[in-house]
Amino acid sequence: MPGEKEKCMKVTAKTVADFTKGELIGNPDIEITDVSKIEEGKKGSLAFLANPKYEKYLYNTEASVVLINKDFQINGTVNATLIRVDNAYDAFTSLLELYTKMVPEKKGIEQPSYVDPSAKLGENVYIGAFSYIGPGVTIGNNAKIYPQVYIGDYTQVNDNTIVFPGVKIYHGCYIGHSCVIHSGVVIGGDGFGFVQQPDQQYRKIPQVGNVVIEDNVEIGANTTIDRATMGSTIIRKGAKFDNLIQIGHNVEVGENTVIVSQAGIAGSTKVGSNCQLGGQVGLAGHLKIGDNVKIGAQSGVSNNLKDGETVLGSPAFDVSRQVKAMITYKSLPEMSRRIAELEKELKKLTEKNKGE
């Protein structure tokens, strides 16, 4: 029997060329039933070449069709059918988007699951088995709620949003349109708020706010976003989160900001728009990070950053200064040896002068 991919994708090279508005070189009738990396290409698959360092694979790939940039210079014999496009990476991305749309959509409410009678469900909604939809919940049109998802009371999930298995969204949260929330995400858990008492015990501060996630946000697996103490923790539209990220209470992340795996942002910090935070970045609490800021991997940030800054290191500071400091740091053993030698020479000269 054919696999799922074969059932949902079978097109010709000409169809791909027409869709991408590309120039076809080779067999227009060759069929494509799969997609692949160029170095792992196999018969019947579509691949692309955008990074020049992968050029060598173009001449021996078994992929049937390869997308290449219009200005790419071919330096050998190519067996695959080629399609020249303005931007091979963008064209391939568009094809993958089309490909995913060809997979049959899930619809309806699977059993066993619980949907409170007061919940409002839009059209073409999918609710997977063992999910819980609480009182007052609103789920928009074409939303997909996969198995074992918990959606707490009075939460709103808007149109075309996908919530993958095992996600937990606590009460009163808001999820925008066309969001993607991957498995294991927890949205709206209590912020880390405690106050130490005279007897050294910690008293919990009630966390009575919520989480607001705007449109077109994607949140990677096992990420946690805490609810606000008061008001809202806010993720602005277009933000993209990798897996394993911690967002503290009352944090605000700006539009189109990208955060890579294992980063953590402490409470009440405001991150601007179009920022890039590398893996394992840590931001202290109550900071203001400007727009278009770039923070290198494993950096620790304890001060505010202005618009457009690029920083690295822990503590983080300007990347050019940090690189110079790192070069100096690597030279410390040699510098130490030379200083020791100079001290010996100085001592000899001092003793010689005393003798004279």
In angstroms, rounded to a whole number, what is the distance separating the alpha carbons of residues 352 and 299? 51
Provide CB contacts within 8 A for 242, sequence distance 6+: 220, 223, 259, 260, 261, 263, 279
Q: For 181, phi and psi rounded to 5 degrees?
A: -120, 115
Which burial class, exposed, middle or buried, applies to 126 when counting CB atoms under 10 A from its CB (0-12, 13-18, 19+)?
buried
Torsion of CA 256, 257, 260, 265, to 10 degrees: -140
Tell the residue number behind the tokens 């409170």, with chain if given. Answer: 116
Active-site residue identified among 171, 177, 182, 249? 249
Q: Is 182 a catalytic residue?
A: no
Tell the residue number behind the tokens 């200064």, with chain if given. Answer: 321
Residue 154: CB atoms within 10 A of its CB come to 17
Q: Taking the CA of residue 138 as centre, how many other CA atoms within 13 Å lie in the half-sphere pointing to its CB?
A: 11
Which residues lie across from 218 on neighbouring strands? Answer: 180, 240
Residue 298 CA: distances (Å) to CA of 71, 166, 205, 315: 37, 29, 30, 10
Q: Do 309 and 291 form a contact (C-beta atoms < 8 A)?
A: no
In angstroms, rounded to a whole number, what is the distance separating the alpha carbons of residues 320 and 328? 13
In angstroms, rounded to a whole number, what is the distance separating the alpha carbons of residues 136 and 116? 8
Q: Do 43 and 70 form a contact (C-beta atoms < 8 A)?
A: no
Cis peptide bond N-terminal to 315, omega within 30:
yes
Instruction: Please give the angle made by the CA atoms of 124, 130 and 133, to the nearest 5 degrees.
Output: 60
Annotated active-site positions, please? 249
